[in-house]
Amino acid sequence: MNCSSRQWSTITQHRHGSVLVVHLNRPDQLNAINRTMREDLRQVFDQAGHDDEVSALVLAATGRAFCAGHDIKELLTLSPAEANAVMLEIGSLYRAIRAFPKPLVSALNGLTLGGGAALALFSDSRLASPEFELGFPEIDRGLVSALAPWLLGLFMPQAIAHQIVLSGARLSAEHCGQIGLVDATVSRDELFSRSLSAALMLAKKPQAAFSLMKSRFATVTEAGFLEALQAGATMQELARAQRG
């Protein structure tokens, strides 16, 4: 199925040549990821990965935020059984992104928190506007981000990841550039065109070799990824029980 022919309720998409451009599209909720968006994104990554007419994907967002993370209002209302189901959905989405065999570039236009930060850091390349901020604020909501120590640990020493996660601090675009979390900071007006150029540049690489190298990177980090997902389910249950 040509993925550009599908209509979605929480994302929009269009083709720019062979590059599929996907926008998170819940701007009034700062593009927070609810259950529908998780499934929409999972399907679009799966379909784009198998669409021969798609050479790369640019992930962007409408409004003033890239993504404020998984929808906290939704998460805090779930029963234990529903929360476990959501953790499985989150794992399925992240697996689909890690398995995506083509270039993935994130155009980070603003606030990028929690699960939104994970979307960005799973990308092959990240470009940010000056308004971009990244953080893992779950701790301030009585939630746990078990994925964050592992994911940040792929980019930096554990001591720095430790400080970022436990403080819940937001990091500026400049700071993220200094520690390797974004590849470049560009003006908001240039963000899309520069992200598209980055995707096209990566798409020129030999496709088979590119896909195999992405698969290799996923393989060597798989044990930590799976452990983080399992820990996330367990720790969220403990945090929920302690909140009463």
121-167 per-position pLDDT tens digit: 999 999 999 999 999 999 998 888 889 999 999 999 999 999 999 99
User: Are the beta carbons of 135 and 168 closer than 8 angstroms?
Assistant: yes
Helices (H), the chain: 35-50, 72-75, 80-99, 115-121, 147-153, 158-167, 173-178, 191-203, 207-220, 222-243
**How far is the C-alpha of 13 from the C-alpha of 1, rounded, in Å?**
15
Pick the CATH number of 3-243 from 3.30.1360.30, 3.30.930.10, 3.40.1640.10, 3.90.226.10: 3.90.226.10
**How far is the C-alpha of 201 from the C-alpha of 180, rounded, in Å?**
20
Task: Give the pLDDT confidence of 108-117 residue by residue, as tens digits.
Answer: 999 999 999 9
pLDDT for res 108: 99
Domains of the chain, by residue range, sit at: 3-243
Q: Is the pLDDT of residue 75 over 90?
A: no
**How far is the C-alpha of 19 from the C-alpha of 181, rounded, in Å?**
23
pTM higher than the cut 0.95: no
